[in-house]
Amino acid sequence: MCNHTHPAGATNEVVPGGFGRGFEAKAGQYITIVDLHGEQAGDFVALSLADLDEVLSPTHTRRTNRSIYFRKGDCLISSENRPMFEVVEDTVGIHDANVPACDPTRYAVDFGVPGHRNCLENMYEPLKRYGIDILQVPEPFNFFQNGPVSEDGKMGVTDPISRAGDYLVLKALMDVACALSPCPQDIIPGNGLVVTDMRYVVTDSAPTAHDLEAFKCR
């Protein structure tokens, strides 16, 4: 039963599984991303509103954190080598920062399914309003995506370990335009073979335990 109240003034939206949404956050605001049903990867990109050429960069983040993973307390770094987000909370701890967003070629070339919905176009759609080209949609962080890397360097593809209600909280360290795409991959493991909804919420202060219970409501 979902009768929790959401914080006043929050930007709060359920993103339908397989589709994309865009939103903005100001420096100092918090972005909570909730896997509402579990086992759902969500591709995420961000651009600085002050300079759209400065983008969230998994590559710079891996270098700064000296890890292919990030942890609570780490920062996610921009292409100008500046902290763009701080990871404030993370109930999962497994996210992918190694592979591109699924795009039309992923389905057409790898699976023989042209015209399949895909994260690249899902994220471009809401970012178009900033006047960027689809080629300027940056490399994503794939939140909750589970791409284990073994000791011999092999990269696996499997389902997320996230359960319904797991979440990630990021503090924006600059004004950003973001896009989130609960990945439409339904051909191979990656989303438990069932594509489901996610929620994002932008708040002025860190979400309380009460807020987080409200955000988990489907």
Nearer to Zn ion, 89 or 125 (CB): 125
Subset of residues 181 to 200 that bind Zn ion, contact rule: CB under 5 A? 183
Q: Give DSSP secondary structure letters for 129-170.
A: GGT--GGGSPPPEEET-B--B-TT--B--B----BTTEEEEE
Stretch of residues binding Zn ion (CB under 5 A), selected from 9-17, 51-59, 81-89, 119-127: 119-127
3-state SS assignment for residue 178: strand
Nearer to Zn ion, 35 or 54 (CB): 35
Residue 119 is a binding residue for Zn ion (CB under 5 A): yes
* DSSP code for 46: E
- Closest approach, Cβ 41 to Zn ion, in A, equals 7
The one-letter code for the residue type at 114 is: P
Distance separating alpha carbons of residues 118 and 38, to the nearest angstrom = 19
- Closest approach, Cβ 8 to Zn ion, in A, equals 33
- Closest approach, Cβ 191 to Zn ion, in A, equals 8
Residue 120 is a binding residue for Zn ion (CB under 5 A): no
Residue that is written with structure tokens 């000296």 in the block: 66
86 in Cβ contact with 168 (< 8 Å): no
- Closest approach, Cβ 177 to Zn ion, in A, equals 19
| Residue 10 CB coordination number (10 Å) | 19
Nearer to Zn ion, 116 or 216 (CB): 116
Distance separating alpha carbons of residues 14 and 105, to the nearest angstrom = 27
Subset of residues 158 to 177 that bind Zn ion, contact rule: CB under 5 A? none
Distance separating alpha carbons of residues 112 and 210, to the nearest angstrom = 46
Stretch of residues binding Zn ion (CB under 5 A), selected from 116-124, 144-152, 164-172, 210-218: 116-124
- Closest approach, Cβ 17 to Zn ion, in A, equals 11
Residue 102 is a binding residue for Zn ion (CB under 5 A): yes
Residues of this chain that bind Zn ion (CB under 5 A)? 102, 119, 183
